[in-house]
Amino acid sequence: MAKKISSISLLFVFNIISSSFVFSEADKLAPALYVFGDSTVDVGNNNNIDTHAKSNYLPYGIDFPDGVSGRPTNGYNMADLIAQSLGLNLLPAINSIDVSSYNSIEGFNYASSSSGILSQTGTDMFPGIMSLEKQIDMFKDTIQKQLKPRLMSQDSLNEHLSKSIFFLVTGVNDFALGLLRNERKSRQSIDHEAFSNDLVQTYASHLENLYEVGARKFVVFDVEALGCLPLNVQNAFPENPRCLDDLNSLAFNFNQMLYQMVHDLGSKLNGATFIIGKNYQHTLNLVQNPTSFGLKEGFKPCCEITHYGTCEAKNSPCNERKQYVFFDGFHPTEAAYRLLASECFSGTSGTCFPLNVQLLAAL
């Protein structure tokens, strides 16, 4: 009798576990999320690179459940929040794991702080960072070493990749650490339109590269309002903070080219769907009218920043972190990321256009 009860109990427990697993799987809106880009979505890839472009010290991570992680913000970043909204676990930094022995196929984060669209961006200041091209090469390696052995068939792999979300946030460093820095060093003007055009064409080739290996659902963010970033604002207008029109125009003009390129790729690549994430307008809205979004401080960073715009190590940040748009000289707070991620995932304001991520996942 005891054995019978034990068997029934075990069967009951097994059914509960199985039901929980099925619910968990059913709760996923996409099989995986693959994230590429710069510090906006970096979750610690640079921690394991011999570079100074790291955020693995306090006050970064002060509100993150596991503490300091390499995310250049106080808590979760946008990539984390999108993953959670899709019903996925937080994505591991690709440099933090042995991909061949990692069992989960919910996606990975390849983003590297200070990187850009161009392979050379940021490398003179921060050798070792992973350009977008390098990140995509690592994704191809993931396909061979991790996805193919677990998905078993080419059909299963194709299905997985075609239903997964490919999330890209990059471009700002090509201006901040590339074009603008080179102009300051050489004291010569560079043709901004020609530079932006070359940048867009290079970006297009990277997106096509992802398409060729199976990606079909893309979220591509534009470049934020450069002239509204706290470091730039403090350097130019320390007493009366306001956005710098010339820097914003630079980002705006690039973004117009980006929108056209993405539209053209959507028409050219059979079966591909592209979303544009409008971070430029979102940033403008937040800094110009933070109270409309439940925030108080638009221009002032939450932490004390160095002349590079990063947080001073171990100094205490502001107490009202949920009231600030920016945590340091460049990067938003978790509160600001939540606003952007929420609008992009399920909003109807056009922050993510022409449809939101939730609708993209359902396609």
Would you kindly state where each structural domain of the chain is located, as residue ranges?
1-30, 31-362
What pLDDT was estimated at residue 25? Answer: 67
Which residues, in sequence order, are CB contacts of 305 under 8 Å at separation 6+? Answer: 230, 231, 234, 311, 312, 328, 329
Catalytic residue among 55, 80, 328, 349: 328
18: pLDDT strictly greater than 80? no
Catalytic residue among 38, 39, 113, 115: 39
Q: Does residue 96 have an active-site annotation?
A: no
Q: Does residue 331 have an active-site annotation?
A: yes
Q: How far apart are CA 28 and CA 262, in angstroms?
A: 27
Q: Does residue 205 have an active-site annotation?
A: no
Question: With contact defined as beta carbons under 8 Å apart, do 41 and 312 qualify?
Answer: no
What are the phi and psi torsion angles at 70 (to 5°)?
Answer: 105, -5
Q: How far apart are CA 163 and CA 285, in angstroms?
A: 32
3: pLDDT strictly greater than 90? no
5: pLDDT strictly greater than 70? no
9: pLDDT strictly greater than 80? no
Q: How far apart are CA 166 and CA 159, in angstroms?
A: 14
Average pLDDT on 8-35 reads: 58
Across the beta sheet with 165-169, what order do the strands follow? 33-37, 165-169, 217-221, 273-277, 352-353
Catalytic residue among 189, 205, 331, 349: 331
Pick the closest to residue 257 from 208, 309, 198, 170 (CA basis).
198
Average pLDDT on 199-213 reads: 99
Size (the chain), residues: 363
Q: How far apart are CA 285 and CA 277, in angstroms?
A: 14
Q: How far apart are CA 192 and CA 262, in angstroms?
A: 20
CA angle 176, 181, 184 (to 5 degrees): 140
Two structure tokens written together for 89: 């676990």
- Helix, strand, coil % (nearest 5) of the chain? 50, 10, 40
Q: Write down the CATH number for the domain with range 31-362.
A: 3.40.50.1110
Which neighbouring-strand residues pair with 217?
165, 273
Work out the percent of the chain whose per-residue pLDDT is above 90. Answer: 91
